[in-house]
Structure formats: structure tokens, C-alpha cells
Structure 1
Amino acid sequence: MITRAEGAYLGAVRAFQNPMLDLLHKRHAPLVVSLLSLVFTAERPTVAVADAHTEVADALDQLRAAGYGEDLPTGSARDLCRQWADAGWLVRHVLDDDVEVYRLSAHAVGALEVAGRAGGARARVSQSRVRTLLEAVERLALDADPDVMVRIARLDTEVKRLQGEIARLERTGTVDEVDDEELLEEAENVLHLVRELPADFARVAESIKAMQRDVVTALRQDQRPTGDVLREYLQRGEHVMDSTSEGRAFAGALRLIGDPQRLDELSAQLDTVLRHRFAARLPSHQRAELRELVRRIEQGLDQVFAAQREASYVITAQVRHHDPLRDRQVDDLLRDVMAGMQTWLPGSRRGQAVTPLRRLPVADVEHLRRTPGDLRPAQAPDALTDRDDPVDVSDADARAWGGPHYADLEAHLRALGADAPDVDLAAAFNAAPAQLRRPVDLLGLLELAHQLGMTERDEVAFVDAVRPDGTRRRFAFGATTTRTRDEDG
């Protein structure tokens, strides 16, 4: 049986295994907290990996120049960021444009909030904080009590209180002013609650990502029929927000803060607070926190929704392309590679050459097909049948709808070029008789011009072609001049 002391000790050991407390009790915790708070801000939740390395390196150089070199860890900024990512304080993420970025984990956000509260003004036992506690307990008791008459009595008491307040305001026409000290206490209580939001949003997003990794891992190792796998995991992908306790809690909170009208009302209320005379007694950073409250809520919502969309996309894509046999083959191959490395490394030396694999092994095939398959179709095509109504086409009609009249076109060009060596092709086509102005004759004329030699201009020429049935079609092409005789003519 575990004693109380042992139970308390084991609980503390488990608590300090949390990356948040692990960050705070490290030797270089002040450096980690300061650098993370310097690089990551509410306006800049994600930072490109290369930019983060550069900024951390610049900060380390400034600290060394100021004389803090003995208190700083060894290693480059890249090594420190990699250590922080391995410890669970930073999360690497690839954006849609293939840019790799860092963002703070929920543990790091919580650690920064704890350090910020410890280094700032200490929270006091105030009327505002006690009232918040009492109201929360009252709401909890009201929601937990199933007695209808008790709830009706409580609501009736609240209605009578509100009606009495309305009657007093109508009678006196004045609002009881609240002392500035009490307003300052309430503002500090609001700020205390606000500082918890970033870590809460980050925990929800990371719980969704953890669920995504669990689903994909289970899918790769699943031995059940594919139909069962598809039904279960597609359903989890569609209802990813309901798959974790943090997600369910967030869904409940979203019903309160997800309404744009509610956020607009919150923004108007904060403006009223900041216009009051007591707000001038708040430090500038606290006024900025109150002013940025709505935007921080919107950023947290976007962070959770982005994690939800990514999880749904990854799970759905994994299900669509899931091939258990191939995945198991890849896993077996990777295990073989790791086993080979573990066998080779203990007996190897630094810089030892490795014999490369110059050719792939030949597959041991017992039997190959020696004869091709039957290329003949399964059955012969149907025999051709004579048309019941044969069309009688004369030679003249067939010729009229046939190809270009090259001889007539060439004679037409030579006749136009009797007095000039060059002729404009568009003018020559428009001057030809109707039987030589078919669309196909325009192609023939261009072909003859290419053979005889032609010169293209930057202008656009238009011609009207006439089909044998009398229909017309306008064509446009680059203005061209052609010689009417070849070099020997």
C-alpha cells in the first residue's frame, strides 16, 4: 500500500515530467523563457525556422557582448532550437507554401504565462476574484441540481433582484459609481483570466494533432477489413472536434465566444472600460492586453480551426490512400534497416568507408510466361452492310468539296503578277473567282506562297471565303506578300 508521502512524491514526479515544469526548473530556464518570449509574440505566433535561428543567434551574441557568456549554454542557435523542439517546447510545422516554421507548444505557452505572472504583480485576494469564484460555484450548483422547484426559486429570486434594481434606477435616475480601486481589482482579475487563454487554445490544437497521429498510426497497423476501417476513421475525421476532451470543452466554449455578434459586444465593452478614468492607472502593457483581447480570442480560434482542418484532411487522405500491405512492407523494411544499422555501428570506426550497393539484387522468379496471349478478339466484328439509300454524288460535287485547285491558283497568281513580281496574298484571294475562294483554297494559296517565297508583315489581313453551298466565312492571318514566279522563272 502506498503511503501518503509516497503518493505525494510520485504525483510531484509525474508533474515535473510535464514539459512545462521541466522548462521552468532547468538551469538555463531564464534564458529559454526570455528568448522564446522575445521571438514569439501574440502578433507573431509562428516564425520561419531560418528567421528563428537568426534571431536567437543575434540575441545570444548581444548577451555575450553584455558579459553573460558564462551563464549561456554552448552550441549554436540551431542546436538550441533543436533541443527545445525535442523537449516539447517548440513545434515544427510546414505551411501550405512549403515554408517550415516554429510555433510554441502548449507547454511553452503555459511556462511563459507562469513566468510572466511570477515576475509581474502578484495576484491578490480581492472582491472581484472572490465574486468570480462564488459565481462559478453558484453556476456549477445550479447546473448540477436537477430539482425543478429549486431552479425556479433561484430564478425567481434573481428576477426580483433585477426588477428591484430597475425600479431603483427609474426612481433615482442615477447609477451607483464603483470605486476606482475596485475597478482596478476587477481589471486585474480579467487580465488574470485572459492570460490563460493562449495556453488553453494551444492545448486544444495539440490534442487534436495528437489524436490525428494516433488515428494515422492505428490505421497503418490495422488488421481489420478495409470497409470497417473506412467507416470508423472517416467518421472520426468528420467529427474530430468531439474526439478529445479538450476538443469537447472547446466546442462548448465556442458556443459562447464563436458568435461574431458576441465578439463585437465584447469589443464595445472593452472600449467602454478603456475610456473610464481608472484605466489611466493601469500600466501600458495591461491596457494593451485588454485592447487586444478580442484579437487574441480570434487568433486562438483560428489556431484550433486550422488544426481541425489539417487533422480532417490528413485522416481522410490516409484513409483514401491506405494500403495495409504496402504500409506493413515499408515498416518491415525500415525495421530491417534499423536492425542492420544497430548491428553495424558497434563494430564500425569513425570515418570507416561503407561498400556501396552497385546493383540491385536479381529477383528469383521460378517461372515466366513463355507464350503471349491470344491477340485475336473474342469475336469477329459485324459485317458491313450496304446502305439502303445510297447517295449519288457527282464528280463535279465531289471536286467542289475536295482539296485546293493548285493549278488554277498558280495560274491566277501568275496572271496577277504579269506586271509586278510581288502580289499581296489577301488581295489575290479576294480577286479570285468564287470557285477559287473556298476556305481550302486559302490554305492552298498559302502553301504556294511558301513554295514561291513570301514576306510577312506586321499587319493583319482579312479575307472572305465562300463554300460551294454559298455560305461565307471570314478568316484573318498575317499580311503576306508572295512572288508570282520562282527564282528560275
Structure 2
Amino acid sequence: MSEVAGELARVRSAFEQPTLTLLHQRQAPVLITVFRAAFGRDNRPVPTGRLHTQVEDHLAELRLVGEKDVPQGSGRDLCGRWMRGQWLVRSLDDAGHEVYTLTSHAQQALELVKTLSRDRATLSEHRIGTLLSTVRRFNSEANPDRTTRVAILNAELARLRHERDRLVDGEEMEPASVDYMAEGFTELQLLVSALPSDFARVEERFAEIRAEILASFRAEDRPAGEVIDDYLARADALMTATPEGRAFEGAFALLRDEALVGQLREDLTALLEHPLADTILGDAERAELRGTVRLIRDGLDRVLSQRSRVTSTLKDYILAHDAARDRELEQTLRQVESELMTWLGTAGPRAVVELPLLPARAHVEHLRERFYDPADHIGPERLAATAPPEANPPSYAELMAQGGPSVPALRERLAAALTSLQPVATLGELFDSLEPELRRPVEIFGLLHLAGDHELPVDGERELYRTVRPDGTQRTFAVPRVALPDPDLDRPRPEDPR
């Protein structure tokens, strides 16, 4: 494979990720707006019923302001569609209530949009200084040469001692410029905004481990001890072998050190009380930076709660499932012992009996549910002829025209409309585009039946269906409006037509 072909494969796999699937569609601005309004910056869980109502209210408000690209459907249907897109996840909170949370993919999309919506600073002294100091600190901690490390630390100590002596001697302090402060606050906001998605990735990984453990327990193809050992090994690998797990361990170590937490809080307070902070930051940005410690604590609590659910799953299985099996085995052994004592009461001293260790399992291929009934095979009585046969019976085509809906043909047309690049908006528009043979009044029932199979949403409004009877007469029916989904929500478009 050539270099450009390999690069194309990597780019294509990136575009198939749920993050870019969310952003690479026509209705992405509306979806991102709804997610930001409903979940806030810290991805707080929202009860399922409340989110359904919020989604409907937000979309109705966007329609009132003239927005055209608004997804159709109820709040429940849209949330289910977003769950299939891996942008929402539904789980139980500590109280046992169903809640929605954003996945790490959706949070990455929100973070990218938020970053692009900020005023992006160009190359600056602050950015170059941050790069130099980061590289210097990284080298001082990772350089394998002892002499080099000592030289770096001596240079840093000399620089700090010189700066301290200069300030002690009363020399003038150079104030930070507005551009320097703005660049620093921008970089700080980028670091803070990336925290929720990092915590969400660790939380989702624990949720995957929990689902896999439950599947292993239900399959019963491995011993319970092996499943538990596998969980312990994977949980340890998650915390030590993945970037998300190492980041979580670092944040957890930070919160265990009260001195570091206090220093972080004091430094943030000092920066927010800087004389230039009011001219650079808005109220929302100040609140975001002020809640950094709480944001880290909330993320850690969610990860620990998800890990506790995995541990609780193991505990419930060990205490309930294994205990029940042990009681069944104990009862079986007692019955075997009772039968053995009965046999010893009548058997001789050298008597031998072939006794299996455990009773054999009964294999029954089929259990009869009904017995034979001769009345089931008695044919019905012949119908009495009440009228002479017609001289000119109706043709096959006439009988088909008077019959029920043409379900196979309607199913093909509906499937083509759902996968078309230029779909129709409603079921009524699809009906009006059919040929006259498929626009009989009875065909309306066939279309509505197929719409129910596809779980298409029904609006409160009505639309007109213009039908054509077999004799050529026309009639119009008012039918509840059924909206067809937009294919942009289920698959990425090859390119934006605009």
C-alpha cells in the first residue's frame, strides 16, 4: 500500500468515528446547541423524561426563530436516534433512576466547537514561553544523564534566586500585558475544557468491562473465579496501560494531596482577581475556571461510581448466584447419602454397586404440549349452493383492484424513500408520488402499517392523501402526518452540498 493510500485509510477511519459523524452533517449546529443547553459544560446527568421535554422545547424555540434544519420527531425518538449514533448513553444513577449523559465522542465535538468559537490567538510570547518551560521541565524529569539533570536544576535555581533577590531589593515589577493575560487564560480554558471528555472515556471503558463481565457470567462458559481474575487484570491494565487510566490516576493523586488542591484553588483565585481579568473574561468563563476543582471532583466521582458498579456486579454474583448453586449441590449430596444408608441396611459386606458421582442429565428432545384429538382432522361441511354461478365472473385484475393493500410494492417504495439521497419529507408526499394503481384508499392503511414497523414518528398535524379508486374517481383523506427521517442523521454525507 502506498503512503497516500495508507493516509487515506487512516483519514477515512477517523471520519467514521462518532465525533466526526456528529459534526459532518447538515443539522450539526442544532444538535450541538441542544447538547450544550441541556447538559452544560460539565456533562451533568439529566433524567430521561426531563431531557425528552427539553429537546422538544429547544427545537420548538429554534423553529420560532426561523431555523430550517431542525430534526423532526418527538424528544424520545430523537434521543433514541442519538443513542444509536453513540452521542448519548442511558444508565441508572445512584438512586436507580434512568438518566442520559453525553458520551466522550459528543463531548469531544462540543469541545472542538467551543475551541473554534473562541478568539484564537496567534503566535505570542506567552505561547513560546509556555512551550520552552514545558520542554525544560520535561527534560529535567526524564533526562537519563545525572549531570545534565543537576545542571538544569542549578540553572533553574539560579534564575529563581536572581528573580527573588531582585524583588526583595525593591526593583520595579513589569506588569503583564493584556495580550499576555488573554493568551494565558485561553490556554488555561483549553486545558480545563478537555477534562470532562477524558473522564467520560474512562467511565465508558468501565461500563464496557461491566457489560462484558455480565455476558461472561450469563454464558457460564468459564468458571466464576476465572472471570473475576480477568476483571482484576483488566481493571489494573486500564489504570496503568491506557492514557485515560493514567490521567485518572494522576487526577486521583492530586485530589488526595490537600496541599496541591489548596494551591490550585489559590492560584486560580489569584488569576481571577487580577486587574485585567475583568476585561478579558466574561461571567461564564470566570465561573468555568472557578469551578475547576469541582469539575475534577465530579469527574472522579462518576468514574469511581462506575467502577463501584462493576465491583457490585461481582459481589452480587458471588453472594447470590454461587450460593444458590452451593445449596443445590449440598441438597443433592444429602439425598445421595440418604439413599446410600438405605442400601447399606440391606446389602452384604462385599456387595458392590455402580454409582455415578452425579446423576445423569435428562435429555429430552421434545415435550408434547397437545395430545391427539380426532376432531382436528374432520373436514368442514360442504357449503350449500345458495345462488347460481355468475355468467361473467370478475377477472383476476378486478379482484386484485378490490383487495387489500399492496404491501410488497409499498415496502419497496418506502425503503427507497428512506435510503434516497433526496428523500421526501412525509408519508403523504410519498403517497402522492406513487402511480395510480398504488394510490387506492386501502393503500393508506398499508403505508401506515409499514410506518409503524419502522417506528416513524406521528405528528399532531394532518396532511391530505389524494387517492384514486379503481373506477377512476378520486377522493381526498385527511391523515395524521408521519415524518420521514433525514438520512443525514444515520450516515455521513459524502460532501456538503452547500
* TM-score bracket for this pair, using the shorter chain length: 0.5 to 0.7
The one-letter code matched in structure 2 to 1:196 is: A
What TM-score comes out, normalization by structure 1 length? 0.61
Where does 1:282-361 land on structure 2 (aligned, <5 Å)? 282-284=280-282, 285-321=284-320
CA displacement at 1:99 relative to structure 2:
1.1
The one-letter code matched in structure 2 to 1:176 is: E
Q: Does 1:162 align with 2:157?
A: no
> Which of 109, 112, 135 matches 1:111?
109
- Report the counterpart of residue 52 of structure 2 in structure 1: 53
- Report the counterpart of residue 149 of structure 2 in structure 1: 151
Deviations 1:228-250 (A, max 9, x none): 44444456568874475422332
**8 Å contact kept, 1:127–1:185:** no
**8 Å contact kept, 2:178–2:276:** yes
CA displacement at 1:107 relative to structure 2:
0.8
Deviations 1:90-132 (A, max 9, x none): 1101123221110111111111111112223124322222222
Q: Which stretch has the larger CA shift, 131-140 or 275-284? A: 131-140
Q: Name the CA distance, whole Å, in 2 between partners of 1:186 and 1:62.
A: 37
SS in 2 for 1:277: coil
Distance 1:119 1:239, change over 3 A: closer
- Report the counterpart of residue 95 of structure 1 in structure 2: 93
**8 Å contact kept, 2:91–2:98:** yes
CA displacement at 1:215 relative to structure 2:
3.6
- Report the counterpart of residue 188 of structure 1 in structure 2: 186
CA displacement at 1:314 relative to structure 2:
2.3
Distance 1:155 1:243, change over 3 A: closer
**8 Å contact kept, 1:207–1:244:** no
Identity among equivalent positions (%) equals 35
SS in 2 for 1:72: coil
Distance 1:293 1:234, change over 3 A: closer
- Report the counterpart of residue 274 of structure 1 in structure 2: 272
**8 Å contact kept, 1:208–1:241:** no
Distance 1:208 1:229, change over 3 A: closer
> Which of 113, 118, 123 matches 1:125?
123
Distance 1:303 1:229, change over 3 A: closer
CA displacement at 1:251 relative to structure 2:
0.5
- Report the counterpart of residue 140 of structure 1 in structure 2: 138
The count of aligned residue pairs is 328
Q: Name the CA distance, whole Å, in 1 between partners of 2:238 and 2:8.
A: 36
Where do 5+ consecutive residues of structure 2 fail to align? 326-367, 372-498
- Report the counterpart of residue 480 of structure 2 in structure 1: none
Distance 1:360 1:169, change over 3 A: farther
CA displacement at 1:66 relative to structure 2:
2.9
Deviations 1:151-184 (A, max 9, x none): 1111121122222222222223553322233122
CA displacement at 1:293 relative to structure 2:
2.0
**8 Å contact kept, 1:270–1:290:** yes
Q: Name the CA distance, whole Å, in 2 between partners of 1:258 and 1:233.
A: 25
**8 Å contact kept, 2:210–2:313:** yes
The one-letter code matched in structure 2 to 1:64 is: R
CA displacement at 1:282 relative to structure 2:
1.5
The one-letter code matched in structure 2 to 1:154 is: I
Q: Name the CA distance, whole Å, in 2 between partners of 1:311 and 1:153.
A: 48
Deviations 1:311-339 (A, max 9, x none): 2222443455567x99xxxxxxxxxxxxx
**8 Å contact kept, 1:236–1:243:** no
Where does 1:195-210 land on structure 2 (aligned, <5 Å)? 195-210=193-208
Q: Name the CA distance, whole Å, in 1 between partners of 2:321 and 2:125.
A: 58
- Report the counterpart of residue 65 of structure 1 in structure 2: 64
Q: Name the CA distance, whole Å, in 2 between partners of 1:232 and 1:43.
A: 33
What TM-score comes out, normalization by structure 2 length? 0.60
- Report the counterpart of residue 15 of structure 2 in structure 1: 16
Q: Which has the higher contact order (CA 8 A, sep 6+)?
A: 2
The structure with the largest alpha-carbon Rg is: 1
Where do 5+ consecutive residues of structure 1 fail to align? 327-358, 363-489
Q: Which stretch has the larger CA shift, 159-168 or 29-38? A: 159-168
- Report the counterpart of residue 210 of structure 2 in structure 1: 212
Deviations 1:371-415 (A, max 9, x none): xxxxxxxxxxxxxxxxxxxxxxxxxxxxxxxxxxxxxxxxxxxxx
- Report the counterpart of residue 74 of structure 2 in structure 1: 76
Distance 1:200 1:123, change over 3 A: farther
Deviations 1:48-91 (A, max 9, x none): 100000011111222223333x4222222211111111111111
The one-letter code matched in structure 2 to 1:60 is: L
